[in-house]
Amino acid sequence: MDYNFEEIEKRWQQYWTENQTYRVTENSTKPKFYVLDMFPYPSGAGLHVGHPLGYIASDIYSRFKRLQGYNVLHPMGYDAYGLPAEQYAIQTGQHPAITTQKNIARYREQLDKIGFSYDWSREIRTSDPEYYKWTQWAFLQMFKSYYDFDTNRAAPIDRLIAHFEQQGTEGIHAACSEERGFTADEWKAKSEKDRQDVLMNYRIAYLGDTMVNWCAALGTVLANDEVINGLSQRGGYPVEQKRMRQWCLRVSAYAQRLLDGLETIDWTDSLKETQKNWIGRSEGAVMHFKAQNNIRFDIFTTRADTIFGVTFMVLAPESDLTLLLTSEEQLPAVQEYLEKTKKRTERERISEKTVSGVFSGSYALHPFTGEKLPIWISDYVLAGYGTGAIMAVPAHDSRDYAFAKHFDLPIIPLIEGCDVSQESFDAKDGVMINSGFLNGKTVKEAIPAAIDEVEQKGLGYRQINYRLRDAIFSRQRYWGEPFPIYYKDGIAYPLEESKLPLELPEVDKYLPTEAGDPPLGRAKNWHTEEGYPFELSTMPGFAGSSAYYLRYMDPHNPKALVSKQADEYWRNVDLYIGGTEHATGHLIYSRFWNKFLFDLGVSCEQEPFK
């Protein structure tokens, strides 16, 4: 007998809908199992083949777990904010909400035809004010928190203020943008503006000056994965590196916990390794160097034992030191080089092996020998990792070696018997030579001995570094979550939680204003009841997806992101299906967001995805 797809599928799908077959509630008599797909961005093209590829697999497993007696949560929703809908709005004048709604209707029709076992009563959309109320709420909690390394968790900013009132910065061990020191009396004497500036230095959600991928044609900052070969993924417009004041999230404060958490979850080894490399923990030393005009700067190195092999220094093009240490004669050449490097993203600079650079015209003094070391500028050094300056040891680092060969700079071998005539030598083992007080020691003996000597001579100190950067959290776009922030006398203040959600206003165009402000600068009455202006940027695409798995647990709760009862029953996601390309983006941000909510007592589990 032939299987009549159209008649049988339609009949059973109608039965599932009418009887709410897959609707689920907390049930303490049954073990739970939470299966989650990475929810889609509703593009105009509809589902692509990759969507059902993952969705069918998760649906089969959901049905299997139900048959095993589990109470299965298998929800679906839409990651509805994004640049494509905004670009379509710019081209056609149609509001992104209309485009998004049409696209969602098409997605739902296609998903229903396939016959997935989703609990549609839990559907969420990141562009729904009742949903993004909780995205804004989480941001406010981060704004009102700092990270305390003594307790190794987030704490209320009010606690930090109380400490400043009593002791100033004495005894403070907190994550910050820059180290600051002041007494209690100095704190009390500060103006409101100065106090808020100090607090911004510690907040988990903070305003900071940072290098971004700026696309002038789109009028916004782009994430690294939105840029390909110096052009925007959307539209193919030129992108350049630019320093801008942006909202950021202090993800770096959670670096060690993000590393430690990988040991507690059942992920593939390759995925864990990708995150470990992205977080990039390294132990070493910060060392002080002095350049001309008594300008001092620091470098971070994991191999202080190679200090006698340093033959030149390199600065990142975007480092504050670059122009400061550029001589008048070299200024035209340096400026030309800086213009070229603006067009390349950090990701491209890390992956590409081409050698380029320019001499600054300045020299630094070797901290042990006093020898003059030429200071170069090259895009293989990044401002965001370490200090944005390196000591180059070409004999034992492949990129330093390539640079030295290209520019004919000295190469001093430090390991007995090593050959550096054709390539650098990996100095993990061996006996030290050409290394002053380290001569004759093995590498393993030399590493701690060098750091001890650096500290004893006051030339630096030991430190643990992480490659993980704070997340840039603002975009100069229209179609995104508004920040619950207003400005009074140029100072950022949080909106009262009772005023949430702060809804996205209407604008006459979805383009930047004539003055260059983001599209929200076009909104009428975009200010508080007292007349204080709201923030004009909106949140990035990952804002709404960073805690959506929690909202699925309790999607209609008007009083909390998730109730304690629902959270303690569903706890976290047992099976999460999506692309590994999200390893260094969404999966890092969600883990950070969840750990912050764990610190607040909102999430009962440290990890969102088992």
User: Using one digit for the tens of pLDDT, what is the confidence trace for 4-27?
Assistant: 888 888 898 888 888 889 999 999
| Confidence grade of residue 521 (pLDDT, cut at 50, 70, 90) | very high
Q: What's the rounded mean pLDDT across residues 491-497? A: 98
Of 260, 255, 281, the residue nearest 607 (C-alpha) = 260
Segment (H or E) for 286: strand 281-291
pLDDT value at residue 120: 96
51-60, 527-536, 599-608: range with lowest mean pLDDT: 51-60
Q: How far apart are the first and last CA of the chain?
A: 44
Determine the Cα angle at 383 with ends 377 and 388, to 5°. 65
| Confidence grade of residue 294 (pLDDT, cut at 50, 70, 90) | confident
Q: Which residues contact residue 291 at a Cβ distance below 8 angstroms, ignoring those fewer than 6 apart?
A: 297, 325, 362, 363, 364, 365, 375
pLDDT value at residue 81: 93
Q: Is 34 exposed, middle or buried (0-12, 13-18, 19+ CB in 10 A)?
A: buried
Average pLDDT of every residue of the chain: 94
pLDDT at 486 over 90: yes
**What is the DSSP secondary-structure string of 166-226?**
HHTTTT--B--SS-----HHHHHHS-HHHHHHHHHTTBSEEEEEEEEEEETTTTEEE-GGG
On whether the CB atoms of residues 15 and 21 are closer than 8 A, the answer is yes
Q: Which fold has domain 281-466?
A: Isoleucyl-tRNA Synthetase; domain 2 (3.90.740)
On whether the CB atoms of residues 308 and 414 are closer than 8 A, the answer is yes
pLDDT value at residue 1: 67
Tens digits of per-residue pLDDT, 195-254?
A: 999 999 999 999 999 888 888 888 778 877 788 888 888 789 988 888 889 999 999 999
Tens digits of per-residue pLDDT, 299-322?
A: 999 999 999 999 999 999 999 899
pLDDT value at residue 584: 85
Phi, psi (deg, nearest 5) at residue 73: -100, 115
Which of the listed CATH numbers 3.40.50.620, 3.20.20.70, 3.40.50.450, 3.20.20.80 matches domain 21-137+542-600?
3.40.50.620
Handedness of CA 529, 534, 540, 543 (dihedral sign): negative
Q: What's the rounded mean pLDDT across residues 526-555? A: 97
Q: What is the pTM of this model?
A: 0.89
pLDDT value at residue 88: 82
pLDDT value at residue 220: 79
pLDDT at 95 over 90: yes
Tens digits of per-residue pLDDT, 61-72?
A: 999 999 999 999
| pLDDT-above-90 percentage for the chain | 78
Q: What's the rounded mean pLDDT across residues 136-164? A: 98
pLDDT value at residue 230: 82
Q: Would you give the distance in Å from CA 575 to the centre of its chain?
A: 24
Determine the Cα angle at 446 with ends 440 and 452, to 5°. 130
pLDDT value at residue 390: 96
Give SS3 for 365. strand
Tens digits of per-residue pLDDT, 153-210?
A: 999 999 999 999 999 999 999 999 998 999 999 999 999 999 999 999 999 999 999 8
pLDDT at 385 over 80: no
User: Hey, where are the domains in the chain?
Assistant: 21-137+542-600, 281-466
Tokens representing residue 363 in the block: 């020299």
Alpha-helical regions (H) of 73-119: 83-92, 96-114
**How far is it, in rounded angstroms, from Cα 61 to Cα 65?**
6
